[in-house]
Structure 1
């Protein structure tokens, strides 16, 4: 139980780091297959299987939640004050683990080699486009007025970020950064826990909802949930088919090149 919980913490920390993919860490930690299977099939399997999936997801997701809560401010501080050291640490964490992703697979198979190259080239294109045309968001001012249109944006940002989080090599946090919502999301989470400490001082339910930023957090979370289910279902179908080996090599190609993204975000 604690092993899965600890892996969840690591994945959670990765998900709040711009340029680092939670999906990549899930692959390296050996829980990616089960994670996409559980998320993608949870609603359609028999009750007994739901219980099995539920226990697994509870351990992983609770670890992710703790990782996000405990390390959100630490990660922000590290990247702000020690960006290169932090990037180097996570690069060195990921690189030695890459060979284990395709352990036991046929490394000389032409289809697998082609899949690896395609994954690497596609990711390289995105890294280049991000470096050439992307913008690094520097604003850390929390949005003050939560409008209906902003809630719609938050929902789609959540869905897109969730899809990015579960695909190895694509950083959900980096996507949020490029969409201009990364610091807002971190701010909402921070304000929620700051407000929860003083919850007894609020005099009405509306005051609690407003000061704890419950509405934007709930809408963003709903977007994440829907994005996770849709993308996880698709990934699980590929990993469960005859294309599993090629899919793993494709993912490996993405991961190898995506390490560049951690550094690209520092030098834009």
Structure 2
């Protein structure tokens, strides 16, 4: 089952405007995913094996989703953007109440946290909208300098991937590297993918540490921030359909 969920997360990560983190919330594994990544290095051997058992099929599925569906999703997004985005919105909507199940929706701090999540997405999309379409440069030759840039973009995208509602692909689009990365994946170009993959791994590790801290210490408020982010991102998708 985690393998199939991983495929769903992987597919979501290659669609600009769609978030793999949101899919993890939809599948009910977001908390566990954050815990596994954030605590793996310092966990006991028994706990490490538990994390590996959970994560391995998920990561395998995610890799399959990205490698085998990148070109398909790219085609669907390019030729049928309304249906592609609409299918994602329909899939996510039923999961929204689950995010804050059992939480106090009248608490003023939770309401403010929800508002912060909304405003965060507004600021993110304003930033990406200002850059989108102006920065893409097709990379003809691979250099170490470009590899370092690719790793940095990967770190930023990896951090974005782990936040529900924030699209790592959209951020790559704004940074001018989405088409290059999709081409590298489609053509299985190992060297640039290694640089990008290392960057993604670093970004995911850093952001999961931060998110896990807030989930452990400010769980209710963090869930409402996530709710605000998810709802705002869905509204943005609907506006652009």
TM-score by length of 2: 0.94
Q: Cα offset for 1:263? A: 5.1
1:159–1:54 CA distance, 2 compared to 1 (3 A): same
Q: 1:157 aligns with which of 135, 139, 153?
A: 153
Q: 2:20 aligns with which of 19, 22, 28?
A: 22
* In the alignment, structure 1 residue 135 sits paired with structure 2 residue 110: no
Given that 1:16 and 1:68 are in contact with CA atoms closer than 8 Å, whether structure 2 keeps it comes out as yes
Q: Cα offset for 1:142? A: 5.2
Residue 207 of structure 2 is matched in structure 1 by 231
Residue 181 of structure 2 is matched in structure 1 by 185
Runs of 5+ consecutive residues of structure 1 not aligned to the other structure: 193-212
| Matching of residues 1-268 of structure 1 within 5 Å | 3-131=1-129, 133-136=130-133, 143-192=139-188, 213-241=189-217, 243-262=218-237
Q: Cα offset for 1:106? A: 1.2
Q: Cα offset for 1:246? A: 0.7
| 2-structure distance, mates of 1:39, 1:7 | 17
1:137–1:80 CA distance, 2 compared to 1 (3 A): farther
Residue 97 of structure 2 aligns to a residue in which SS? Answer: helix
| 1-structure distance, mates of 2:182, 2:40 | 29
Residue 36 of structure 2 aligns to a residue in which SS? Answer: helix
1:92-147 C-alpha deviation (Å, 9 max, x unpaired): 2112211111111111111111111111122123223433x2323696x8522101
| 2-structure distance, mates of 1:42, 1:99 | 30
Given that 1:142 and 1:187 are in contact with CA atoms closer than 8 Å, whether structure 2 keeps it comes out as no
Residue 142 of structure 2 aligns to a residue in which SS? Answer: coil
| 2-structure distance, mates of 1:166, 1:45 | 21
Q: Cα offset for 1:25? A: 1.1
| 1-structure distance, mates of 2:81, 2:181 | 20
Q: Aligned-residue CA RMSD in angstroms?
A: 1.8
Larger Cα-atom Rg: 1
Residue 240 of structure 1 aligns to a residue in which SS? Answer: helix
| 2-structure distance, mates of 1:138, 1:127 | 16
TM-score by length of 1: 0.85
